[in-house]
Amino acid sequence: MQFSESWLRTLVNPSLSTDELAHRLTMAGLEVEEADPVAPDFSGVVVARIETAEPHPNADKLRVCTVDAGTGSLLQIVCGAPNAAAGIKVPLAMVGAKLPGGMNIGVAKMRGVESSGMLCSARELGLSQDHAGLMILPDDARVGMNIREALDLDDTLFTLKLTPNRADCLSILGVAREVAALTGCTLNTPSVAPIQPTLTEIVPVKVVAPDLCGRFAGRVVRGVNARAQTPAWMIKCLERAGQRSVTALVDISNYVMLLLGRPTHVFDIDRMPEKAMEVRWARQGESLKLLNEQVIELDETMGVICSAGIPESLAGIMGGASAAVSLDTTSIYVEGAFWWPEAIAGRARRLKLNSEASHRFERGVDFENIPEHLDLITQLILDICGGQAGPIDDQLINLPARQPVTMRLSRCCRILGVQITSDEAARIFTLLGLEYTIQGDNFVVIPPTYRFDIRIEEDLIEEIARIVGFENIPAVPPIAPATMRLDPETTRSAHTLRSEMSLLGYQEVINFSFVEEPWEHEMAGNPDPIRLLNPIASQLAVMRSTLMPGLVANIRYNANRKQNRVRVFELGRVFSRDAAVADGPLTVAGVNQPQYLAGAAWGPVADDQWGIASRNVDFYDVKHDVETLFASSAADLKFVKDTHPALHPGQSARILLDSKPIGWIGTLHPKWVQAQEFSSAPVMFEVTVEALQSVPMPLVQELSRQPVVQRDMAVWVAADMPVGVLLDTIHATIARHPELSVVRDVRLFDVWRDKSADANPDAVKEKSLAFRFWLQDTEVTLDDARVDACLLQVRTALETTHQARQR
């Protein structure tokens, strides 16, 4: 919220400097995000009146002006502004003046004519970007007066960064209440005497939605002059609050909203279909053209104000164009209402509207002083636009109950860590305008109608802390017994997993948990993703059930920026529906939120260099990274051919640990490679964090002094025989026979196929697999006979189980 310090000081004027006032507000929870001067630093500029403006004898576009600057004699100024004319008042930079940007004004000759100063535009004074001509000053500006004093330029613009719960401070009055409570100064609440109606006319209003509108009030004003000029003081207040002047009626409505926090709306009665209104929920199929010319489709979740059954205004958000006031308006209906926050919240955002009214109503607006506020806006209309006012029609339909909130003084002292006496707490509540009664050690407070943020005991304790001052609460370190916590050796933390991925050359990314719906349908194969009720963007409408699409988007982002090698990973949660379970008479489906670790590699295996031949990363490079992550339990890790919607059907596998599925690995599906315009296919994997976190307890084993024996074995098997099946058989055989415990490791190191056999359709399709065995005994040196016997048992098992034969 933005406003000027001078406007605030009209309601409460503490003896604090600008910086001190900003600090007090910030420390009370109303953070002053910016405190900028209204105008840049300049001097020597006064109000002047142009007496004559004659053409320059030597230049077509210049004028020679005689100017009265209040010095007792006329000055000659050469000016090139097109609007320079006799009789207007403008800013004059006198000789010796210093303007923004370091410009110094002196006597100069322009095309042979002497000029003693400079007539200024708004941009030359740093007040705006307008440089089409001279800045025209009000007729009542005193000639010779310093321009900073005449325009009140020695002012400061405060910009508050309010938290969503402090809707009561979305007005000058609300901030002034806080300043008065913080400083003890007198608060000058804006008020007017009740308007005595001179008309008897009332517009009948029927409220049929009590859950939408809790109170509705309005009055008729006829004979207004909508072409009346908005007073300069009001325009100044509006502009310094970030609002532009529109017309007098609109400006008055905006002024009251900023002053009191009361959004109102002004209808042109003569443009309404009938002189009656109805407040209800919209119906499917209805539409409304708003003040900003946007046509919106309405539904049952939006409130409307109707006339003759036709929506004329979007309740609490924005008025309609059909009954909007114009310069020709003469009869108006001024409306002020209390709209339930729940009925307004989220509607403007869904419609992509930026509405000051909805910003306030969805947080809660005072529902007590609506008639008084209507009297104030009516008085301003009568003073500026003239006219005659009718009586206020005030309907109380369904107002919020102000439930008492109890604060235990002992608990307040315990939470804040300072001693607060009963008298001090009573003084603070009085300063804040909170009605209370004391019941023993307890304060029972009735929240004011403008404070929707006071609901529980902690809210009252916060109020005490704000007025005492957070900086006055001593910083005392907590005293507690310190106990060393040991990290379990059988569990890896998420931080450890991130570190290990970084060591493998991957860089961490963090993506949104909400993704595009087509990703879930097409890349995750999820026909029923979890939808968001209120997405931050229309395309990010569902929760992700896999991390892989996000990594594809990360690679695309980097590829678009000429990166030719990308290795990224993400550790985060995915979301899927649990199976529905019975909960009494209801069937409830929860949400499963496991953590996954996913990685993707694209481009060359290594950065280009002379010592390594360049090649793109492939399935086995990433498979090796996964095996490295599971190094301590790699023997129980299996990769079983399977298909996934996001992966190449011939280059994808399901990852199993102890025969349980824990994730996927594979090359990106060709259709996604083509859609993303990748030069090569990324290789990705995704596994559950739970499977990675559990590691076996490290075992201490004696190092053998005996030499390691290395032997190779090559066998012929069917061409479609998976290598993993053979390795499973080898490991099972070693586990069953104690005498084979000397086999320390087995690895595949060669695969060979007879190409001539592949070309012959009648030939038996076989492949040769070569395995390397490492054997070692801890006690004695292995002789050839024992080694051969071990390999014979392994070969026999392969021959028996898989019809393998020795090559």
| pLDDT score recorded for residue 579 | 67
Amino acid at 46: V
- Alpha carbon of 417 to those of 182, 411, 429, 551: distances in Å? 21, 10, 19, 48
Q: Is the pLDDT of residue 587 over 60?
A: no
Query: Over the Cα atoms of the chain, what is R_g?
Result: 40
CB 182 within 8 A of CB 24: yes
The residue among 689, 690, 623, 688 whose CA lies nearest residue 653 is: 623
DSSP of 583-639, one letter per residue? ETTEEE--EE--EEEEEEEESBSS--BTTB---B--HHHHHHHHHHHTGGGGGGEEE
- pLDDT band of 589, cuts 50, 70, 90: low
Low-confidence winner among 301-305, 399-403, 684-688, 756-760 (lowest mean pLDDT): 756-760
| pLDDT score recorded for residue 306 | 96
| pLDDT score recorded for residue 703 | 83
| pLDDT score recorded for residue 634 | 63
The residue among 527, 544, 547 whose CA lies nearest residue 591 is: 544
Cα–Cα distance between 620 and 603 in angstroms, integer? Answer: 14
CB 20 within 8 A of CB 198: no
- Secondary structure of residue 541 in the 3-state scheme: coil
Structure-block tokens of residue 185: 């100064």
- pLDDT band of 594, cuts 50, 70, 90: very high
Helix (H) or strand (E) segment spanning residue 21: helix 18-27
Q: Is the pLDDT of residue 147 over 70?
A: yes
User: How long a stretch of residues is the chain?
Assistant: 807
Cα–Cα distance between 440 and 442 in angstroms, integer? Answer: 5
Cα–Cα distance between 334 and 355 in angstroms, integer? Answer: 18
Positive or negative: CA dihedral 769, 770, 771, 775: positive
| pLDDT score recorded for residue 765 | 82
| pLDDT score recorded for residue 761 | 73
pLDDT digits (tens, 9 = 90+) for 517-555: 999 999 999 988 999 888 888 888 999 999 999 999 999
- pLDDT band of 781, cuts 50, 70, 90: very high
**Strand 107-110 to strand 156-161: parallel, antiparallel, or no bridges (unpaired)?**
unpaired
DSSP of 422-461, one letter per residue? HHHHHHHHHHTT-EEEEETTEEEEE--TT-TT--SHHHHH
Structure-block tokens of residue 143: 């000639």
DSSP of 196-244, one letter per residue? --S------EEE--TTTEEEEEEEEEES--TTPPPPHHHHHHHHHTT--
Q: What is the mean pLDDT of residues 24-53?
A: 93
Q: In degrees, to the nearest 5, what angle opens at C-alpha 521 toward C-alphas 515 and 524?
A: 75
Q: What is the mean pLDDT of residues 749-772?
A: 83
Helix (H) or strand (E) segment spanning residue 539: none
Q: In degrees, to the nearest 5, what angle opens at C-alpha 45 toward C-alphas 39 and 49?
A: 120
| pLDDT score recorded for residue 674 | 93
Number of H helices, E strands in the chain: 22, 43
Q: What is the mean pLDDT of residues 12-29?
A: 94
158-183 exposure pattern, b = at least 16 Cβ within 10 A, e = fewer:
bebebeebbbbbbbbbbbbbbbbbbb
| pLDDT score recorded for residue 582 | 45
Q: Is the pLDDT of residue 588 over 50?
A: no
DSSP of 310-322, one letter per residue? EEEEETTTEEBST
Amino acid at 52: T
Instruction: Catalogue the long-range contacts made by 193-198 (C-beta closer than 8 Å, 24 or more residues apart).
Output: 193/375, 194/375, 195/375, 195/378, 195/379, 195/382, 195/389, 197/389, 197/390, 197/391, 198/388, 198/389, 198/390
Strands of 766-775's sheet, edge to edge?
A: 743-752, 766-775, 709-718, 805-806
Residue 416 region by backbone torsions, left for phi larger than 0, else alpha for psi between -120 and 50, else beta: alpha
Q: In degrees, to the nearest 5, what angle opens at C-alpha 528 toward C-alphas 527 and 531?
A: 135
Cα–Cα distance between 735 and 300 in angstroms, integer? Answer: 69
pTM higher than the cut 0.75 = no
The residue among 260, 256, 271, 219 whose CA lies nearest residue 395 is: 219
CB 367 within 8 A of CB 338: yes
| pLDDT score recorded for residue 580 | 55
Structure-block tokens of residue 57: 């004898």
pLDDT digits (tens, 9 = 90+) for 397-451: 999 999 999 999 999 999 998 899 999 999 999 999 999 999 989 999 999 999 9
| pLDDT score recorded for residue 600 | 96
Cα–Cα distance between 99 and 127 in angstroms, integer? Answer: 12
| pLDDT score recorded for residue 394 | 95
Low-confidence winner among 151-160, 644-653, 694-703 (lowest mean pLDDT): 694-703
Q: What is the mean pLDDT of residues 505-528?
A: 92
DSSP of 161-178, one letter per residue? E--TT-GGGSSHHHHHHH
Positive or negative: CA dihedral 513, 518, 520, 526: positive
| pLDDT score recorded for residue 483 | 81
CB 296 within 8 A of CB 351: yes
Low-confidence winner among 334-348, 506-520, 582-596 (lowest mean pLDDT): 582-596
Cα–Cα distance between 649 and 667 in angstroms, integer? Answer: 9
Q: Which residue has the tokens 């008639």?
A: 371
| pLDDT score recorded for residue 586 | 45
More confident of the two residues 588 and 340: 340
CA atoms within 13 A on the CB side of 389: 22
Cα–Cα distance between 352 and 346 in angstroms, integer? Answer: 10
- pLDDT band of 266, cuts 50, 70, 90: very high
- Secondary structure of residue 31 in the 3-state scheme: strand
Q: Which residue has the tokens 């005996």?
A: 706
Cα–Cα distance between 212 and 317 in angstroms, integer? Answer: 12
Q: What is the mean pLDDT of residues 243-266?
A: 95
What distance, in Å, lies between the first and last C-alpha atoms of the chain?
A: 83
Exposure of 395 by Cβ count < 10 A (0-12 exposed, 13-18 middle, 19+ buried)?
Answer: middle
- Secondary structure of residue 267 in the 3-state scheme: strand
Which residues neighbour 393 within 8 Å (Cβ) at sequence distance 6 or greater?
202, 203, 204, 205, 217, 218, 219
Cα–Cα distance between 545 and 574 in angstroms, integer? Answer: 5
pLDDT digits (tens, 9 = 90+) for 75-99: 999 999 999 999 999 999 999 999 9
